[in-house]
Amino acid sequence: MKTVSERFPRPSVMGIVNVTPDSFSDGGVHLDASVAAAAARRMIDEGAAIVDVGGESTRPGADAVSLEEELRRVLPVLERLAGLPLSIDTAKAEVARRALELGAELVNDVTALRGDPAMAGTVAAGGAYLCLMHMQGEPRTMQVDPRYDDVVSEVASFLEERLRFAVAEGVPEERICLDPGIGFGKTVEHNLELVRRLDVLCSLGRPVVVGWSRKRSLGRLLGDPHATTGTVAASVGAAVVAFERGATILRVHDVRETVEALAVARAAYGRGVERGAAPAAAR
């Protein structure tokens, strides 16, 4: 099996399909399994390296969903997408296990293996890639006054500890990627600081995933203090900046626009960038 870096050259795009009624951006749009599967296929045609399918919203304020409900949402979509490159966005080991059985190759766990004690073993046994993400608090309350002494070093220490844990539990290090968790218990300034100093996270030695697409911090940056989403153009700009700072995988809703913008950025940086070399400006 390829390493994350071989499977996902820099930059790679991860498309997002949320099979939920309440996701902050595409909630309710993909609740029907056929509609969700068609959206995923379109994203792959548009250049996504992988499509991340999720059945539980983690937007600020979201409530948890039961195992039965999450399976009911995602399994029919995964079944329709057999043979395509898929990731499962879940914190539940049983959802991950069923998704891997149906051919998913990556488990995207926003709790970084803290949500379900069986998750690490499931990922290891399934031979899957794993994304470990930082979150302060839990979705229901995480945006209520998030605080850090130094957001970058705290996120880096957390991810380093989670990486060691995953490896100790049997997940090969070369299959793991790390994500600062934009918007997960972070103010606009925390998000900006994490991307500005993304080189600190890149120096942990694993490919970095950034998911800033359509998030409220982008809307707030544009001057609306009550925004709950960001625009497509702001999201594309955010993806290019994250790539420029060293990100390998960009998790986005708008695949075609992001792929086109990243093609220009990649061409401008020239040879070597896809192998993980951070552009000089990001070092």
Smallest gap from residue 161 Cβ to ligand HH2 (A): 17
How many secondary structure helices (H) and strands (E) does the chain include? 11, 8
Q: Contacts with ligand HH2: how many residues (CB under 6 A)?
A: 21
CB contact set of 93 (below 8 Å; sequence gap of 6+): 116, 117, 118, 119, 121, 122
> Using an 8 Å Cβ cutoff, are 212 and 191 in contact?
yes
The structure tokens listed for 218 are 């982008």
207 binds ligand HH2 (CB under 6 A): no
Smallest gap from residue 183 Cβ to ligand HH2 (A): 7
The stretch among 3-11, 15-23, 192-200, 240-248 that binds ligand HH2 (CB under 6 A) is: 15-23
Question: Is the Cβ of residue 54 or residue 246 nearer to ligand HH2 in the bound state?
Answer: 54
229 binds ligand HH2 (CB under 6 A): no
Nearest CA to 53 among 28, 76, 30, 19? Answer: 19
Smallest gap from residue 95 Cβ to ligand HH2 (A): 14
The structure tokens listed for 111 are 């709790």
* DSSP state at residue 190: H
Among 7, 13, 25, 107, binds ligand HH2 (CB under 6 A): 25
Q: Tokens 């994500």 map to which residue?
A: 179
> Using an 8 Å Cβ cutoff, are 248 and 10 in contact?
yes
User: Closest residue to ligand HH2, Cβ-based?
Assistant: 211
Question: Is the Cβ of residue 59 or residue 92 nearer to ligand HH2 in the bound state?
Answer: 59
185 binds ligand HH2 (CB under 6 A): no
For strands 249-252 and 12-18, give the pairing.
Answer: parallel
What's the 3-state SS for 52-105? EEECCCCCCCCCCCCHHHHHHHHHHHHHHCCCCCEEEECCCHHHHHHHHHCCCC
Among 93, 110, 236, 255, binds ligand HH2 (CB under 6 A): 110
Among 7, 8, 15, 20, binds ligand HH2 (CB under 6 A): 20
The mark string for 36-65 relative to ligand HH2 (x by CB under 6 A, - otherwise) is ------------------x--xxx------
Site for ligand HH2 in 251-280 (CB under 6 A): 251
Question: Is the Cβ of residue 129 or residue 269 nearer to ligand HH2 in the bound state?
Answer: 129
- Residues in contact with ligand HH2 by CB under 6 A are 16, 18, 20, 23-25, 54, 57-59, 89, 108, 110, 131, 133, 179, 181-182, 209, 211, 251
